[in-house]
Chains A and B, each alone.
Chain A
Amino acid sequence: MRYDNVQLQQQLAAEYILGSLKGKAKARYEQLKAKRADVQQQYDWAANQLHRLADTVPAVKPSKAVWQNIEARLFKQASNKLNWWRGLGLGTSAMAAVLALVLVTQQSDVPTITAAPPTQIALLAGEDAKPAFMLNVVKTEKGETALRVNVLETLTPQPANTLQLWMIPNGHKPISLGLLPQQGQKTIVVLETLAAELIKSGLAVSLEPIGGSPTGQPTGAVLYQGKVVVI
């Protein structure tokens, strides 16, 4: 098939990104790109190359109003929504009362549910939203904070690489938490100085050379991400 020709693929990718591909040819290329990984790969490569054209344009500071408008559009609404919820305060307390009643009446049947301590858990998922790692925040016998790592069956094994776990605290660079197994379980002890930040931080898994990142910062693709939640 003629689309197997790498040169043609590169040509189509470049023209698609430039914008000179239009109409039926464009639609055909989009379909092809969605179906074939090799076409998508050529596209990604060409995009990273050609979009440097944008970098040849001089930078110009936009007026302050642009950011103010962005903030107003994205975040003002959110605080309005919050107020709207507060207005419903009466309704929610009534609901909470009903819920409490339900819990109380059910307690004799399922005592373990109400007795269970809060669980801190993180699911690290890839772009397909399928979790590949489940992490539980636990205390070791010595009282240290640790992450109990469970590798899920959905993990795509990376035999030629190491998977490394990072926490990304607010306002800081990623901090390595350690290397992850690709099957089974592992417990990773978290330094006490980081433990408090852990629950507020993002978590990410990057693809690294065997043995882990040589630079102390993620060097490869981020394959999975997540955050600790309390359930």
Chain B
Amino acid sequence: MEKQLMKGNEAIAEAAIAAGCRLFFGYPITPQNQIPEYMSKRMPKLGGCFLQAESEVAAINMVYGAAGAGARVMTSSSSPGISLKQEGISYIAGAELPAVIVNIVRGGPGLGGIQPAQSDYFQSTKGGGHGDYRLIVLAPASVQEAADLTYSAFDLADKYRIPVLILGDGMIGQMMEPVSLPTPKEPTSANKPWATNGAKGRERTIVNSLYIDPVELEQVNLRLQSRYDTIQKNEVLCEEYLMDDAEIMLAAYGTTARIVKKAISELRKKGIKAGLMRPITLWPFPAEQMSKYADKVKAVLTVEMSLGQMVEDVRLAINGKVPVEFYGRTGGMVPTWKEIAAKVENMCGGAK
């Protein structure tokens, strides 16, 4: 498809439409307002439904209802709004419903700021909501990737009956880059025999996450866990950049990874063999992919726009084999390639 210049938020919205999503429920919050605004213009023209809900809480529950009825449906928000959605997300996970949720992360905690951050990694991958559940978490590093991952999110959600979170940040949401949009497909609610769409000629269906008998609830959880194990085996996505001869591994995701790539190219000019492991799925985390380099590199530096969240998963993957250090900026501050390169040089005891 022809490339067009699009804002990240709008590319995400258009990609959702291309994936057959015809229902969007959301609420305004900076820096993702272009998503509901874009949807409010596009959905009515497609015979779809855009509804501005009364809150992020209401929006996630509208998603639950529509997803339970068998539709492809999406909501979007930013950090504080995603906090509001957590109960609903837990319910969606517990009721085994497919849904796509977009978080365009801003500085936190609390009302925080409106500048980009990566401080929702824990919230996204380690729960956020209550209970033993997982979300597939996809972290784009470009507007193109944001579109591609949003498009595939709906297929993943339907395939595994799991909510999928697109974890962007204010930069991805706001910047404009050339995008080649995915091929549009028509919405279909075929193949969802579990959906509540009117019990005509079939047994009635129930969408529910309450299992008051602990024997039953344990079985439900074990069943979900086995599904998560399958996802872990099959759906990991990770970019390996200049890792073949790397002596220093950098780990970063999203827009931070792009800044890290610039730092790497400058470091290489100075003879420092740095490489990047860029998780694209934050859950399932590419632990196996990372750990295979643990024997080959001398050290690891994790770079995040936070005070260190993904670094814990990196440490688990490296498993103590080599030192794992951290560099981060937070509160909406964006690290420069110079700061990152300086940190690496420092770790190496100066340029070689």
A and B associate in one complex: no
A residues with a Cβ closer than 8 A to B are none
